[in-house]
């Protein structure tokens, strides 16, 4: 194993473009596998799908499709008229970026759909998404905003101005 010292190297445009394509293909296959598995097992085991399960399944498909389209639009490269690469699009694999959170939602939704093949109660796991969203909202936006220290008034400056004013009066008297 080679240990790299110092700052990690930056990725080139072509590497980011290739990694984005691979990432999109992986998450597309994950989503299609979950949806296909649910439909395949459901057609074998059930004569009709339960209405609530079908509703959640359709909602899950919409979430998966929306996440995929969002990631694809983030990773869309910009090409010049002659076909040269101007911009590779956003890096989907950057740590802490929005692409990471969207990928987590795809993983959660695919997992819930696969688990829901066995019991309808697994749809409740989907409640982790808004709980995580609320936790991120609190820690990154609301918490720091509510608990930031109050701005301190510069008392010394006010006192210094008054003292200087008094000294000037004394000087001219």
In a domain, residue 5? The reply is no
In a domain, residue 115? The reply is yes
In a domain, residue 43? The reply is yes
Per-residue pLDDT of the chain (173 residues), as tens digits, is 555 555 555 667 778 888 888 989 999 999 999 999 999 888 887 777 788 888 999 999 999 999 999 999 988 877 777 777 677 777 888 887 888 889 999 999 999 999 998 888 999 999 988 998 888 888 888 888 777 777 776 555 556 777 777 777 777 76
In a domain, residue 159? The reply is no
In a domain, residue 121? The reply is yes
- pLDDT at 7 (0 to 100): 53
In a domain, residue 24? The reply is yes
- pLDDT at 98 (0 to 100): 85
**Residues of 76-107 as b/e, b for ≥16 C-beta within 10 angstroms?**
eeeeeeeeeeeebbbbbbeeeeebeebbebbe
CA angle (124, 26, 100) in 5-degree steps = 60
Tell me which residue range forms the domain holding 73: 13-128
In a domain, residue 68? The reply is yes
Our count of domains for the chain comes to 1
- Cα gap 131→165, rounded to integer Å: 58
In a domain, residue 92? The reply is yes
- Cα gap 115→104, rounded to integer Å: 16
């Amino acid at each position: 194993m080679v240990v790299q010292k110092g700052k990690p190297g930056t990725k080139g445009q072509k590497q980011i473009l290739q990694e984005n394509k691979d990432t999109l293909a992986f998450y597309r296959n994950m989503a299609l596998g979950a949806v296909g598995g649910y439909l395949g097992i459901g057609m074998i085991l059930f004569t009709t799908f339960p209405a609530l399960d079908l509703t959640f399944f359709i909602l899950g498909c919409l979430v998966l499709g929306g996440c995929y389209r969002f990631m694809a639009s983030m990773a869309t490269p910009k090409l010049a008229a002659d076909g040269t690469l101007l911009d590779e699009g956003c890096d989907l694999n950057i740590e802490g970026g929005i692409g990471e959170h969207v990928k987590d939602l795809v993983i959660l939704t695919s997992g819930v759909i696969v688990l829901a093949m066995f019991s309808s109660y697994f749809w409740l796991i989907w409640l982790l998404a808004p709980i995580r969203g609320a936790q991120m909202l609190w820690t990154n936006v609301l918490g720091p905003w509510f608990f930031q220290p109050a701005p301190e008034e510069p008392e010394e400056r006010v006192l210094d101005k008054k003292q200087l004013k008094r000294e000037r009066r004394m000087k001219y008297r």
